[in-house]
Amino acid sequence: MQTVRKVVILGGGTSGWIAAALLKKVLGATIDIVLVESDSIGTIGVGEATIPPIRLLNSVLGINEAEFLRETKATIKLAIKFDNWRVPGEGYFHTFGAPGKSLAFCQFHHLWKRARQLGDTTSLWEYDLNYLCARDGKFAPITAKDTILELPYAFHFDAGLYAQYLRKLSEQWGVQRIEGLVNDVMQHPNGDIKNLVLDGGREVSGDLFIDCSGFRGLLIQQKLGAGYDDWSHWLPCDRAVAVPSERFDKTLPYTRAIAHSAGWQWRIPLQHRNGNGLVYSSSHYTEQQAADLLLGNLDSKALADPKFIQFKTGRRRKQWHRNVVSVGLSSGFLEPLESTSIHLIQSAVVRLLQLFPHQGIVSSQVAEYNRQSQLEFEQIRDFIILHYHVNQRTDSQFWRDMQQMTVPDSLQRKIQIFAANGSLFREQNDLFLESSWLQVMMGQGIMPKDYHPIANSFTEQKLKEMLAQFRAIKQQPLSKLPSHDEFLQKVCAQ
C-alpha cells in the first residue's frame, strides 16, 4: 500500500476546481495537489442552477456570500417551476421549502388532504414560504428560530466564473495548476496510474488521481475501462442545445423547466444574462429542429450561437477504480432537471474526504465509496424519472411512452405507497426530502386516496383554525421582504 501524499486532478471545469478547493481547504499541508487542465479543450460551459447544499460548500470554503454573488453574477434560487409536465398549459413549483409544519407522526399534507375532503380548496403551495416568495419575486435571507419560517435557497450562477473564483482560492491555498494537454497516461505494472504525459513530454506523477476530464473520462474509462450503466431506457433524452440570452428586466428567483413534445427547456436567470437550453431526445428531434424550438421559445434576444452537447444518461460502474476517483461528468450524468450535477461533485469530494486513503488505498474503502455513490445516483435517477413517468399528456408519443415504461422497483414502490394514503419515506441519505417527493408527486398529478388517521383527531373547526394559522404565519414575512432585484442590487453594491 502506497501512502497518499500527492493528488493529481485532471481537469479544470467545475468539478476539477471544486475538488481542488475542498480537498486543499480540508486537508491543508498534509497533501500536495496538482491540477492539470488544457485551455485548448475547454470546459462544458453549462451548469448554472444549484440546490441548497452548495451553501454549505461555500461556507466550508470560507466564501463570503455577498462576494460570491458579485463574482459569479449569481441570483437566488428558491424553487423550480415545472410547466407543461402533467398536461400542457399547467405548471407547478418544486420549492426548497415545505408546506405548513408537520406534526409528530403526521406530515402536514395529511391535514391539508382532510381539509380538502371537507371542501377547502386552498392549494398545498399556499402554505409554503418558498413558493410565496418565488411567486411574488421576493427575497432576503430569513434567520428565524422556528423552522416554519425557514427559507432555504440556492443560486443560479455563471459556472465558468465560479470555477475561476475557486481557482483563485485554490492557488492561494497552494494548489499548483499546470496548463497542458494530456496525450498519454502511464501505468504501474499493477495497473494503477503512474503519471500523466503532457504535450512536450512533461510527466506529472501522483499517488491518487481524480478524473475530472468531463464526459471523455480519460483516466477512469479510456485508460481503466471502469464501465458504464446506461439508463437511457428510463431517461431517453440524450442531447442538449444551449444558448445565452439577454437578461430580463425582472429577475425571477427560480429556475423554469418547460416541457415540450419530446424534452424540456431550461431558463436560468443570472445578473447579466439568462441561461437557456433544451434537453431532448435525438430520436424525436433533429439538431435543427431542436435549435429552432429553443430559439423560438426564448423570451429575450440570443447572445450567441446555439451549442450542442451529447450525453448518455447513466453512471460509471466503478466511480472509484484502482487509484482513480472520477468526479463530475466523468463519473456519470443525470440530466439537469433537478440541478443535481454540481451537487454530485460536492458530495463525491466530501465522500472522498471521509474515506481519504492517507495510509494507502484499501479495497473495503473503495467498495464503500462505490456503494454510497451508486445509491446516491440511483435515488436521484428515480426522482427524475418520476417527473417523466407520472404525466397525463396525450399530445405526443414521447409522453405516452413515458407513461407506459416500466420504472425501477424502488420508484414504483414509492409511487404506490404515496398514491394509497399519502405516506412518504425518506430513504437513507436520499438527497430529496419528503417535501420534494410530495411536491413532484402532487404536481405530476398523484392525489393520494386517503390520509393518515391522526388528521381525524382534530375537530373540523380545530383543523380549519390550525391551517389558517399556518397560512398566516407563512405569509407574515412577505410584506417585509424586498424584491429579489432590490436584494441583489443592495448586495452587489456593497
Ligand X SMILES: Cc1cc2nc3c(=O)[nH]c(=O)nc-3n(C[C@H](O)[C@H](O)[C@H](O)COP(=O)(O)OP(=O)(O)OC[C@H]3O[C@@H](n4cnc5c(N)ncnc54)[C@H](O)[C@@H]3O)c2cc1C
The CB-of-469 to ligand X minimum distance in angstroms stands at 37
Cα separation, 426 vs 439, in Å, equals: 14
Cα separation, 272 vs 313, in Å, equals: 31
Q: Is 43 one of the binding residues for ligand X (CB under 6 A)?
A: yes
Binders of ligand X among 123-162, rule CB under 6 A?
159
Q: Is 44 one of the binding residues for ligand X (CB under 6 A)?
A: yes
Figure out which of the listed residues 68, 96, 311, 487 binds ligand X, where binding follows CB under 6 A.
311
Q: Which is nearer to ligand X, 217 or 422 (CB)?
A: 217
Instruction: Tell me, yes or no, if 77 is annotated catalytic.
Output: yes
The CB-of-335 to ligand X minimum distance in angstroms stands at 7
Q: Is 337 one of the binding residues for ligand X (CB under 6 A)?
A: no
AA letter at 166: L
Figure out which of the listed residues 328, 332, 443, 448 binds ligand X, where binding follows CB under 6 A.
328
Q: How many CB atoms lie within 10 A of CB 177?
A: 18
Q: In the chain, what are the helix, strand and coil shares in percent, each to the nearest 5?
A: 40, 20, 35
Q: Is 84 one of the binding residues for ligand X (CB under 6 A)?
A: no
Q: Which is nearer to ligand X, 9 or 69 (CB)?
A: 9
User: What would the DSSP string read from start to end of 321-388?
Assistant: ETTEEE-GGGGEE--GGG--HHHHHHHHHHHHHHT--TT---HHHHHHHHHHHHHHHHHHHHHHHHHH
User: What would the DSSP string read from start to end of 183-221?
Assistant: EEEEE-TTS-EEEEEETTS-EEE-SEEEE--GGG-IIII
Q: Which is nearer to ligand X, 57 or 441 (CB)?
A: 57
Nearest of 303, 302, 305, 308 to residue 287 by alpha carbon: 308
Residues whose CB is less than 8 angstroms from the CB of residue 493 and which lie 6 or more positions away in sequence, other chains included? none
Q: Which is nearer to ligand X, 30 or 59 (CB)?
A: 59
Q: Which is nearer to ligand X, 50 or 444 (CB)?
A: 50
Angle 159-301-72 (CA atoms, 0-180°, nearest 5)?
Answer: 20
Cα separation, 160 vs 43, in Å, equals: 8
Figure out which of the listed residues 193, 240, 349, 431 binds ligand X, where binding follows CB under 6 A.
240
Cα separation, 448 vs 437, in Å, equals: 13
Q: Which is nearer to ligand X, 306 or 448 (CB)?
A: 306
Q: Which is nearer to ligand X, 67 or 179 (CB)?
A: 179
Size of the site for ligand X (CB under 6 A): 37
Segment (H or E) for 82: strand 79-83
Q: Is 218 one of the binding residues for ligand X (CB under 6 A)?
A: yes
Q: Which residue of the set 24, 73, 77, 223 is catalytic?
A: 77
Q: Which is nearer to ligand X, 342 or 385 (CB)?
A: 342
Figure out which of the listed residues 6, 25, 26, 41 binds ligand X, where binding follows CB under 6 A.
41
Q: Which stretch binds ligand X (CB under 6 A): 221-229, 293-301, 335-343, 373-381?
A: 335-343
Cα separation, 36 vs 376, in Å, equals: 28
Q: Which is nearer to ligand X, 257 or 467 (CB)?
A: 257
Q: Which stretch binds ligand X (CB under 6 A): 1-9, 47-55, 222-230, 446-454?
A: 47-55
The CB-of-306 to ligand X minimum distance in angstroms stands at 12
The CB-of-424 to ligand X minimum distance in angstroms stands at 25
Q: Which stretch binds ligand X (CB under 6 A): 42-50, 97-105, 292-300, 433-441?
A: 42-50
Figure out which of the listed residues 142, 169, 309, 353 binds ligand X, where binding follows CB under 6 A.
309
CB 50 within 8 A of CB 18: no
Q: Which stretch binds ligand X (CB under 6 A): 37-45, 84-92, 168-176, 401-409?
A: 37-45
CB 382 within 8 A of CB 408: yes
The CB-of-217 to ligand X minimum distance in angstroms stands at 9
Cα separation, 375 vs 378, in Å, equals: 5
Binders of ligand X among 277-306, rule CB under 6 A?
277
CB 268 within 8 A of CB 255: yes
Q: Which stretch binds ligand X (CB under 6 A): 35-43, 110-118, 370-378, 471-479?
A: 35-43
The CB-of-440 to ligand X minimum distance in angstroms stands at 17
Buried/exposed 458-490: b ≥16 CB within 10 Å, e otherwise: beeeebeebbeebbebbeebeeebebbbebbee
Figure out which of the listed residues 7, 21, 36, 349 binds ligand X, where binding follows CB under 6 A.
36
Could you list the residues that contact ligand X (CB under 6 A)?
11-16, 36-38, 41-44, 46-50, 159, 181-182, 212-214, 216, 218, 240, 242, 277, 309, 311, 328-329, 336, 339, 341-342
Residues serving a catalytic function are 77
